[in-house]
Amino acid sequence: MKDKNISVAVIRRLPKYHRYLKELLDKDIRRISSKELSSIIGFTASQIRQDLNNFGGFGQQGYGYNVEDLYSEISKILGLTRKYNVVIVGAGNLGQALANYASFGRLGFDLKALFDINPKFMGLKINDVEVLDMDKFESFVNENNVEIVYICTSRAGAQDVADHIQKTNVKAIWNFAPIDLKVKEDIIVENVHLIDNLLTVSYFLKENQ
Amino acid sequence: MKDKNISVAVIRRLPKYHRYLKELLDKDIRRISSKELSSIIGFTASQIRQDLNNFGGFGQQGYGYNVEDLYSEISKILGLTRKYNVVIVGAGNLGQALANYASFGRLGFDLKALFDINPKFMGLKINDVEVLDMDKFESFVNENNVEIVYICTSRAGAQDVADHIQKTNVKAIWNFAPIDLKVKEDIIVENVHLIDNLLTVSYFLKENQ
DNA sequence: TGAGAGTTGTTATTAATTTGACATTCTTTT
DNA sequence: AAAAGAATGTCAAATTAATAACAACTCTCA
């Protein structure tokens, strides 16, 4: 694995490779060429070969790629060879939806608790995981080695949560609140702006008329 | 508004402009230069000017941009000057979360119904909108001029919903199921792969060690 | 009213990304 | 065992995107 100066564009394609390779595995397909993969994943064969070669020569000339090996390599690259303890802040619908999303757990993202400030959620169990009071947040995440926090609060509450997080050992934030969070540099923040996505839909709708 | 051969990269930045300009408006800031905007939004001033000039000269030399006008122009570009009827398929947590997300409605995305196949949801009202049986889907969307469908089903159900949609006048799909849907060319599909996003977080986590 | 400062719109330049080409290597078949 | 076919890894070219530069214009303030 070489792994130097890989562009973000490449990184953001990796999960798609991971997803499609899993599908191939499930269909018991053992071997695939960049050309075949191209036809199902929609990237050019050239791009596929170049993307993969950023990390090492996983293929074999004259043969193609072994699906299982490639899946395993990409899993490694994506950091999926170990577990991550995570918690969710905000036990509303979105928080509950993520808590119930089995595939996250299957990939190694272990949900340890949900947190909320609303008393009505306290003690509730979602998919066997308990909702706790926000009071206990900082001590809980440090004691349980939580590395990732999913923020599913309202816009108003999100920066507040981020401020709490900065006092802990949490390393990354996956933020669904419609705000770009400000945190110290060493915390990884991935903002998911659903609304941005919907607005591109309306743009293309308008263009198509 | 010129509007020819605008790259997707530019389009995907527009919602961010829209979001930040709304914030400025709310703070009663009337005027902004590309330089100031750059410092809060994080794009270079040059990129901001070039992005905006794809659609027309909205600024004034020596002055900058009028925030209200610019917000209004970007709203127009994004197709936000009219309403869109939408329905949600899948009344689970995610479907309910989206149904409760007020800002979508505020921007003109009018939720007309939710649909599900599970009898336990039938008749339930979420944010004043009823859950209907999937049986009624095709007739309902055509009668109510539904243009966008949010798919919040499991992976297994999603392509099935997409097939129903192809028999209607629906123009766009906003898909949250972890699958790349196959539909006829004239339907706009925006896939939201949450898991892809989480995997980039784990990649960066691994890299940061 | 006029000079100076500020800021855009736009062209030029640089950087990044994608695509294409092909020599090399491995597989398969006879 | 040899030849033909297939597919990679990688370098080069082409395309696309981002940044920089600057002339032209507007505003502000003396």
CB B199 within 8 A of CB A18: yes
Report the pLDDT value the prediction gives residue A208, as an integer from 0 to 100.
86
* Total count of residues recorded for chain A: 209
**Which positions on strand D lie below 7 Å from a protein C-beta?**
5-11, 16-21, 24-28
pLDDT tens-place string over residues A51-65: 999 999 999 999 999
Cross-chain Cβ contact A201/B148 below 8 Å: yes
| B105 interfaces chain A, CB cutoff of 8 Å | no
What mean pLDDT do residues A65-71 have? Answer: 97
In A4-131, alpha helices (H): 8-26, 34-41, 45-53, 67-77, 93-100, 102-106
Is the pLDDT confidence value at A91 over 60?
Answer: yes
- Name the residue among A174, A47, A181, A55 with its Cα closest to residue B195: A174
Report the pLDDT value the prediction gives residue A4, as an integer from 0 to 100.
64
> Residue A174 is nearest to which of B107, B178, B201, comparing CB atoms?
B201
* In chain B, ranges of CATH 1.10.10.10 domains: 8-77
Nearest residue on chain A to B92, judged by CA atoms? A97
Report the pLDDT value the prediction gives residue A1, as an integer from 0 to 100.
39
What mean pLDDT do residues A28-39 have? Answer: 96
**DSSP code of A123?**
T
Average pLDDT over all residues of chain A: 95
Q: Which residues, other chains included, contact A6 with Cβ-Cβ below 8 Å and sequence gap of 6+?
A: A54, A55
Task: Please give the full DSSP string across chain B, using - where no structure is assigned.
Answer: ---SS--HHHHHHHHHHHHHHHHHHHTT--EE-HHHHHHHH-S-HHHHHHHHHTT---SBTTTBEEHHHHHHHHHHHTTTTS-EEEEEE--SHHHHHHHH-HHHHHTTEEEEEEEES-GGGTT-EETTEEEEEGGGHHHHHHHTTEEEEEE-S-HHHHHHHHHHHTTS---EEEE-SSS-----TTSEEEE--HHHHHHHHHHHHHHH-
Nucleotide nearest to B64 (CA to C1'): C7
Phi, psi of A77 (to 5 degrees): -60, -40
Q: Which residues of chain A from 22 to 61 reach within 8 Å of chain B, CB to CB? A: none
* Domain A8-77 top-level CATH class: mainly alpha
CB B33 within 8 A of CB B62: no
Distance B63 CA to D24 C1' (A): 14
What homologous superfamily does CATH list for A84-196? NAD(P)-binding Rossmann-like Domain (3.40.50.720)
* In chain A, ranges of CATH 3.40.50.720 domains: 84-196
Report the pLDDT value the prediction gives residue B4, as an integer from 0 to 100.
63
**Closest Cα of chain B to A158: distance in Å?**
15
**Which positions on strand C lie below 7 Å from a protein C-beta?**
5-11, 16-21, 24-28
Report the pLDDT value the prediction gives residue B209, as an integer from 0 to 100.
81
List per-residue pLDDT tens for chain B, 209 residues long.
345 689 999 999 999 999 999 999 999 999 999 999 999 999 999 999 999 999 988 999 999 999 999 999 999 999 999 999 999 999 999 999 999 998 999 999 999 999 999 999 999 999 999 999 999 999 999 999 999 999 999 999 999 999 999 999 999 999 999 999 999 999 999 999 999 999 999 999 999 88
Report the pLDDT value the prediction gives residue B196, as an integer from 0 to 100.
97
> Residue A77 is nearest to which of B97, B203, B205, comparing CB atoms?
B203
Report the pLDDT value the prediction gives residue B2, as an integer from 0 to 100.
42
Cross-chain Cβ contact B148/A205 below 8 Å: yes
In Å, the largest CA–CA distance within chain A is 63
Q: Which residues of chain B from 110 to 169 reach within 8 Å of chain A, CB to CB? A: 147-148
> Residue B204 is nearest to which of A103, A107, A188, comparing CB atoms?
A188
Percentage with pLDDT > 70 across chain A: 98
Cα–Cα distance for residue pair A18/B178, rounded to 1 Å? 12
Report the pLDDT value the prediction gives residue A97, as an integer from 0 to 100.
96
Burial of residue A178 (CB within 10 Å: 0-12, 13-18, 19+) is middle
Under DSSP, is residue A148 helix (H, G, I), strand (E, B) or coil?
A: strand
Report the pLDDT value the prediction gives residue B102, as an integer from 0 to 100.
86
